[in-house]
Chains A and B, each alone.
Chain A
Amino acid sequence: MSPEEQRSHAAEVEQTLREIGRADLVVGIPSYNNARTIGHVVRAVMAGLAKYFSDQAAVIVNSDGGSKDGTPEVVRQAALGDYRTVLATHPLRPIHRLTTPYHGVPGKGSALRLVFEIAVRLQARACAVVDADLRSITPEWMDLLLSPILREGFDFVAPLYRRHKYDGTITNSIVYPLTRALYGKRVRQPIGGDFGFSGRLAAHYLAQDVWHTDVARFGIDIWMTTTAITGGFRICQAFLGAKIHDAKDPGVDLSGMLMQVVGSVLDLMESNYPIWSKVQGSEPVPVFGLEYEVGLEPIRVNVARMLGIFRLGAEELGDLWQKILSPATFRAVQHIAGSPDADFRFPPDVWVSVIYDFALAFHRRVIHRDHLLQALVPLYLGRTASFVLETPESTADEVEAVIEELCLQFERQKPDLVARWEGQG
């Protein structure tokens, strides 16, 4: 888009916002080359808004990162069709649609910043954001993400999904247990990506000076959740059913996503130390929506590859791990790396020690932070391989029990983390 076109487009958006004036609801859909799936997402959002909030003024904002596959056109052309197929009554108020490119660091965070700006500008009471690559979104998601805010006075709604036991392993092995142990709230999907939040919280998000950091990229999800908790906002969860979205290429995504997400979690630990150091144990977070079992797409994992990278890391990154890990943890990791495939296990207590040692090394800047986060990748793969080998026949409930035990281990070892963090001064 040329500068002239950008100016013209910005003027057009400004004109639309002036015409809209105020809105009760704003739903943001960040996108980048999602033409294949975004049409379904927009239609589901429109149907949800028309069905559950027909008397509310609503705006759908597609914040696009410069898609080349015609994503904005798909958003503009997406239509609900015959309302009677999904609604008993015709919506009382029109649903506005805005599709606009965002500026700043390319990434989901910058896209959502634009959504926050528009929500604050339109004085929205409740907002939701949903990913553009969702294939399992239904109109009910709008009710589940927005109603707790409009009708129950909550400020933040985190998603709760049914996922395959090998899907979301960064969440299951690091982000959920660590966030729960640090801040004391059992938010099961802190980086789920589909959230509801109040206009008040959108204004709070917008006021933070984080938009040049990893928050502007993948770190936005964990930052939104953590900021809602540490800001003292009322939080809850909404059961959304299955999460089925575009498969990601592990070779491309793993390192970058792990670095940005874990980097954001560890960055947040720095600034929130006065808060998390005082938290003991954890408490459940209210859940809205009826929980049910769903059929899930199988996820295939290559354990041999994960074990290979873990063992190679033990050989080639040993000098870095020695600087990061405590001597006892380092010895335990080397022992694990030397065990044969048949007996391969990465025990929860060693894994928790690894994560806490990495958090401390990040805090103390023992090595460059990018290298530190990359040095975590083989360890994460080792732990994930162990998890897969431990649970080949386990049911969803059994897997959840394993994750719960890991969470409790994180909570048990937290006092040691606090003592060492303070000891460093």
Chain B
Amino acid sequence: MDESFQAILHKAWFVVAEQVANFLPKLLAGVVVLLIGFVIARLVRGLTARFFVAVRLDRISDRLGISAFLARGDVRYTVAEILATVIYWLVLLLSFQLLGLVLGLEGLAHFFGQILGYLPRLVVALVIILAGILIGSFFGGAVQVAASNAGFPAAKPLGQTVKYLISFFALVMALEELRIATQLLVATLQIVIAAVALALALAFGLGCKDLAGEAVRRWVSRTSNPSRGEAPSGDEGHPDVQTTTRSSTSN
């Protein structure tokens, strides 16, 4: 009885020791892979940062307005730093995948493999969103200043609408790139647009009922009696200064 108990213990210990002995080299290899990956990641980050400095990426991003855009979004890193950090994490993710393979943890390796496989789509989606925000900001600003200078009284809301619409379309495109269901978003957008159109139609119909009626009455009256003209509109000029034909622009 004692012998068999000792034998069982011995056998169990032997099996555990064998498993540990088998796993230790893998663990060691895994640690080495992680360390090497970490060192390479840091090295690559340093080299790419230097490369970006050498090619004056920050100056280029300054000129393209990307730095100002990041600053406006409270991002306190330069474009070169951001790109170098992205590359650093890419190398680290590769190391984690390799770690899973070395340790024989297929689930872990598969998980990081999937993340790495998904990254290109993520990058494309990010670029789409960034471009959408930049283009939205540009056109929104352009519409705002142009409308204000043309005397349009709701220039700011108009500019904001253009900006957010373009950003929203970019978001939908990015989600499509990420293969995230966009049908719900598109349906929501359609409902919002339809609701706005309906609200405008109702507001116009109810609010301008009398005006529209008056306009139609005048039109009918004019077409039935063309000799009657309208009274001239008032001069919008300043009382002290005559209306302009050639104002303060010729230089």
Enumerate chain A interface residues (CB-CB to B < 8 A): 166-171, 175, 191, 245, 247-248, 250, 253-255, 257-258, 261, 299-309, 312-313, 315-320, 341, 364-368, 370-371, 374-375, 377-378, 381, 384, 388-389, 392
Contacts and interface: CB of A to CB of B under 8 A. Distances in A.
11 contacts: A169-B249, A170-B248, A170-B251, A254-B247, A305-B236, A308-B151, A312-B151, A316-B148, A318-B156, A371-B142, A392-B240
Interface string B220-245: 00000000000000001110111111
Contacts of A388: 241, 248
B149 A377 contact: yes
Interface residues of B, number: 36
Given A315-B156, A377-B149, 8 more contacts: A171-B251, A255-B149, A300-B247, A301-B244, A306-B248, A317-B155, A341-B238, A371-B145
B30 to A, nearest CB: 47
Secondary structure dominating the interface of B: loop
Contacts of B146: 374
Nearest to A174: B251
Contacts of A303: 238, 240-241
A374 B149 contact: yes
B246 A247 contact: yes
A257 B242 contact: no
A254 B250 CA distance: 8
Contacts of A319: 156
B65 interface: yes
Given A170-B249, A170-B251, A300-B244, A367 B68 contact: yes
Interface of B: 62-63, 65, 67-68, 137-138, 141-142, 144-149, 151-156, 236-238, 240-251
A365 B148 contact: no
Given A302-B243, A316-B144, A365-B62, A257 B156 contact: no
B248 A169 contact: yes
Contacts, number: 136
B141 A191 contact: no
Closest 4 CB pairs of A and B: A302-B244, A316-B155, A169-B248, A374-B145
Nearest to B64: A365
A304 B238 contact: yes
B251 A261 contact: yes
A244 B155 CA distance: 37
A317 B148 contact: yes
A167 B144 contact: no
B4 to A, nearest CB: 83
A378 B144 CA distance: 13
Contacts of A392: 240-241
A258 B249 CA distance: 8
A194 B247 CA distance: 21
Given A316-B156, A377-B149, A304 B250 contact: no
